[in-house]
Structure 1
Amino acid sequence: MKAEQIQTLHPIPGKTNKRIALEKYEVIKAQILAILSQNELTHTELMEQLYTNVKDTFEGGVQWYGETVKLDLEARKVIERTRSKPEKYRLVNKSGETGLEAP
């Protein structure tokens, strides 16, 4: 039986993102949210920390899945880019809510 899939979103209107395994999406999403709950990080810092956290247990390209899920979380307004130089990523809602729950 094929693994359950999720259609990820892209923050740029008109662009489509990838369909990926829901299980892998959830692992990467949880890691990104945990990492960003501690600090605002540049893209490179975020991807390096993500890789460090999951490299021993995650099957697949960590950077590729990380980028796909990061874009999806941006599109869903769960994380955002700062306007600082260099640009950093942060959680939109510091309370830990993901913005995916019903109001």
Structure 2
Amino acid sequence: MKGEQIQTLHPLPGKTNKRIALEKYEVIKEQILSILGQSELTHTELMEQLYANVKDSFEGGVQWYGETVKLDLEARKVIERTGTKPEKYRLKTSND
């Protein structure tokens, strides 16, 4: 039986993101928010840290799920890109 699914969003208008298992979404989302709560990271650093955190307990492609959830969090304005070189990701502050 398939578990509950979530339709993820994409930050670019007109693009649709994937439907994924809600349980996997929550695991990856929690990790991304926890990682970015500590520091701003480049895409590579974020994905490497995510992989290191969940590789022993997560079933599925960590990088694929990480990218899908990262895009969704960007679209929901939970995280944002810094616009610097190299570009980094950070939690979006509520006063923006």
Fold shared, TM-score > 0.5 on shorter chain: yes
- What SS does structure 2 have at the residue aligned with 1:12? coil
TM-score (norm 2): 0.96
Task: Please give the alpha-carbon distance, in whole angstroms, between the structure 1 residues aligned to 2:56 and 2:81.
Answer: 28
The offset of 1:47, in angstroms, is 0.1
Q: Which residue of 1 aligns with 2:64?
A: 64
The 5-angstrom pairing of residues 69-80 of structure 1 reads: 69-80=69-80
Corresponding position: 1:84 with 2:69: no
Residue identity matched to 1:40: E
Q: Which residue of 2 aligns with 1:8?
A: 8
Task: Please give the alpha-carbon distance, in whole angstroms, between the structure 2 residues aligned to 1:74 and 1:15.
Answer: 13
The offset of 1:93, in angstroms, is 2.4
Task: Number of aligned residue pairs: give it.
Answer: 94
Task: Please give the alpha-carbon distance, in whole angstroms, between the structure 2 residues aligned to 1:56 and 1:37.
Answer: 22
Residue identity matched to 1:27: V
Task: Please give the alpha-carbon distance, in whole angstroms, between the structure 1 residues aligned to 2:78 and 2:31.
Answer: 13
- Identify unmatched segments of 5+ residues in structure 2: none
TM-score (norm 1): 0.90
Structure 1 residue ranges, 4+ long, deviating more than 3 angstroms after superposition:
none
- Identify unmatched segments of 5+ residues in structure 1: 95-103
Task: Please give the alpha-carbon distance, in whole angstroms, between the structure 1 residues aligned to 2:6 and 2:79.
Answer: 18
Residue identity matched to 1:10: H
Q: Which residue of 1 aligns with 2:47?
A: 47
Identity of aligned residues (%): 86
Q: Which residue of 2 aligns with 1:20?
A: 20
- RMSD (CA atoms): 0.8
